[in-house]
Amino acid sequence: MQTVAVVLEGPEQLALSRLELSPPGEDDVVIDVAFSGISTGTERLLWSGRMPSFPGMGYPLVPGYECIGRISEAGPRSGASAGEWVFVPGARCFGNVHALFGGAAARLVTPGSRVVRIGEHMQEQGVLLALAATAHHALAAPGAAAPELIVGHGVLGRLLARLAVLRGASPTVWERNATRRGGAGPGYRVVDPETDARRDYRSIYDVSGDASLLDSLIGRLARGGELVLAGFYEQALSFQFPPAFMREARIRVAAEWRPQDLEAVRALAEAGELSLDGLITHRRPAERAADAYRTAFGDADCLKMIIDWRACA
């Protein structure tokens, strides 16, 4: 069994290649992928070669962890059925080719326990469940306060704001890029940080991935306030101790989502409570994958790029 996949052969060296797939076992499902998304956080670091040391890292690799498709084969112990639509957080089924995270392919083989059933009506919006789950995980930590300030109005920042509003919060969102200040959902506002004089935020969630902001964000906290690092940072993080000391600041790192986060946001989206509208801005067929990656990482107007695999065999 083979598949067509995006392969990063090295930094900024992308090819669309045909790869051999691992044979499916009794616990596995085979998925014909319809759509996959490009992450402008972790995948940008893979593309540029700046990804810090990470389990599974190495070239050549198949990127991608945001994909949906239909099950074409289901093993007898997979717990799934052929014909079901599922979200797939990547796969490790490409032999000697690294899979970090192994979702940008036309066909995948993965244990049935790793997929999440979704309604067919979700279509391409289903790829957004990974980022929604990431936002949910940051909010769902024991004792976590809803954000009063969110730094960054990309897709993750927008989903975090929408989930916070569902919890009764009314956050402010900072965005330096004027083109991204539009599209605010109900219940929150987006501002240029230079126009915000407030310095008593009790909870700040940073999704920018910009390590240089740490000192300035600590300076915006109220005494005893919490700064949540919910982005992915390529550089070492450091901060000046006296301002953090004076505020008794708390710093929390939000790790990647867990299965319960994915299930929670899937339920919210399918119930119509969490809107996924307005987040997918660009689409490319799989044969234009190289252009898709360049646009996703280089066009400020691109919030989320989707690769369409439906024409690939």
Instruction: Give, as one character, the DSSP assignment of residue 168.
Output: T
23 CB neighbour count, 10 Å cutoff: 10
In whole angstroms, what separates CA 185 from the centre of its chain? 19
CA distance 231 to 42: 9
Q: What is the pTM of this model?
A: 0.93
Task: Classify residue 126: in a domain, yes or no.
Answer: no
Spans in the chain with pLDDT lower than 70: 53-56, 313
Task: Classify residue 75: in a domain, yes or no.
Answer: yes
Residues 154 and 233 in one domain: yes
Written as six digits, the tokens of 191 are 């501002």
Of the chain, the percentage scoring pLDDT greater than 90 comes to 85
In whole angstroms, how far apart are CA 261 and each of 37, 46, 89, 93? Answer: 19, 25, 13, 25
Residues 184 and 80 in one domain: no
CA distance 63 to 78: 24
The amino acid occupying position 273 is: E
Task: Classify residue 228: in a domain, yes or no.
Answer: yes
Residues 92 and 155 in one domain: no
Number of domains the chain is built from: 2
Instruction: Give first-to-last CA distance, the chain, whole Å.
Output: 11
In whole angstroms, how far apart are CA 116 and each of 42, 96, 113, 263? Answer: 22, 26, 8, 8
Residues in CB range of 121: below 8 A, 6 or more apart: none
State the pLDDT at residue 147: 98
Q: For 141-173, write each residue's pLDDT tens digit.
A: 999 999 999 999 999 999 999 999 999 999 999
Residues 70 and 137 in one domain: no
Residues 16 and 91 in one domain: yes
Residues 60 and 165 in one domain: no
State the pLDDT at residue 57: 74
State the pLDDT at residue 55: 65
Residue 101: closest CA among 61, 70, 156:
61
Written as six digits, the tokens of 278 are 């307005």
The domain boundary residue, chosen from 253, 271, 292? 253
Range of the domain at 174: 131-253
Residues 113 and 135 in one domain: no
State the pLDDT at residue 41: 83
Only one residue has tokens 């920042």, namely 157
The domain boundary residue, chosen from 253, 268, 294? 253
CA distance 136 to 130: 10
The domain boundary residue, chosen from 215, 236, 253? 253
State the CATH number of the domain containing residue 12.
3.90.180.10
Torsion of CA 81, 82, 87, 92, to 10 degrees: 100
State the CATH number of the domain containing residue 169.
3.40.50.720
Task: Classify residue 266: in a domain, yes or no.
Answer: no
Task: Classify residue 264: in a domain, yes or no.
Answer: no
Instruction: Give, as one character, the DSSP assignment of residue 197.
Output: -
Instruction: Give, as one character, the DSSP assignment of residue 288.
Output: G
State the pLDDT at residue 56: 64
Task: Classify residue 123: in a domain, yes or no.
Answer: no
Task: Classify residue 183: in a domain, yes or no.
Answer: yes
Residues 84 and 135 in one domain: no
CA distance 302 to 78: 37
Only one residue has tokens 């956080």, namely 41
104 CB neighbour count, 10 Å cutoff: 33
Task: Classify residue 109: in a domain, yes or no.
Answer: yes
